[in-house]
């Protein structure tokens, strides 16, 4: 085994569950189209946290898809990275951008009050390309035990999310998992 001094700086974590996650998302009919209820959920998440941007994010092997999205000007799509022509603008982002892939792989909430305080995260492309300075996200772990994606909020200013923010994002993730479960069972 050789020593790699840059290993701790890996920006995008390896995700062994991605193929199984894709199968589960297809079963649920999620991850490829906007879901109006998830847009409503993102709007409520932004309101509760006071964040200007909120997302319901599903992650596959290559990309992240925001099935729920709230931006300060709801009629103005936020550009979160290059999107293929078929994708709705602002709804798709490369898997190596942002912090949600870390949340899904770790299966734990992540609060970054100022991403620049964390060398591992400060080098993420969203910092320079979009100006993201703070992030808070929690995994969406369904009843099968699969981490499907995340709910998250971001800001272009540092934010003191604190313990209350952590508890809020975790409880909102649990609330959305229940909503997904109800969708799956048609209730």
Structure tokens at 145: 């035990």
Phi, then psi, of 170 in degrees rounded to 5: -65, -40
Packing angle between helix 36-49 and helix 162-184, nearest 10 degrees?
160
pLDDT of residue 11: 64
pLDDT per residue over 119-130, tens digit each?
888 888 888 888
**DSSP characters over 104-117:** HHHTS-EEES-GGG
Regions of the chain with pLDDT less than 70: 1-11, 74-89, 187
* Cβ neighbours of 22 (radius 10 Å): 16
Q: Quote the CA–CA distance of 68 and 59 in Å, as a whole number.
A: 13
Answer yes or no: are the C-beta atoms of 123 and 9 closer than 8 Å: yes
- 81 conformational bin, left if phi > 0, alpha if psi -120 to 50, beta if neither: left
Domains and CATH numbers, the chain: 14-184 (3.30.450.40)
| 169 contacts: CB under 8 Å, gap ≥ 6 | 49, 109, 111, 136, 137, 138, 151, 152, 153, 161
- Dihedral sign for Cα 85, 88, 89, 94, please: negative
């Amino acid at each position: 085994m050789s020593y790699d001094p840059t290993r701790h700086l890996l920006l995008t974590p390896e995700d062994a569950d991605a193929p199984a996650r894709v199968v589960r998302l297809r079963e649920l009919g999620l991850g490829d189209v906007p879901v109006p209820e998830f847009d409503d959920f993102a709007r409520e998440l932004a309101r509760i946290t006071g964040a200007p941007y909120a997302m319901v994010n599903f992650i596959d092997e290559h990309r992240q898809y925001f099935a729920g999205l709230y931006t300060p000007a709801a009629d103005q799509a936020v550009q979160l990275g290059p999107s293929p022509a078929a994708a709705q603008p602002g709804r798709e982002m490369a898997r190596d951008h942002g912090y949600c892939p870390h949340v899904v792989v770790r299966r734990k909430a992540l609060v970054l009050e100022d991403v620049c305080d964390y060398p591992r995260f400060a080098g993420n492309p969203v910092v320079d390309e979009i100006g993201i300075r703070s992030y808070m996200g929690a995994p969406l772990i369904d009843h099968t035990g699969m981490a499907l994606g995340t709910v998250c909020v971001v800001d272009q200013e540092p934010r003191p999310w604190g313990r209350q923010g952590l508890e809020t994002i975790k409880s909102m993730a649990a609330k959305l998992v229940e909503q997904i479960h109800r969708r799956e069972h048609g209730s």
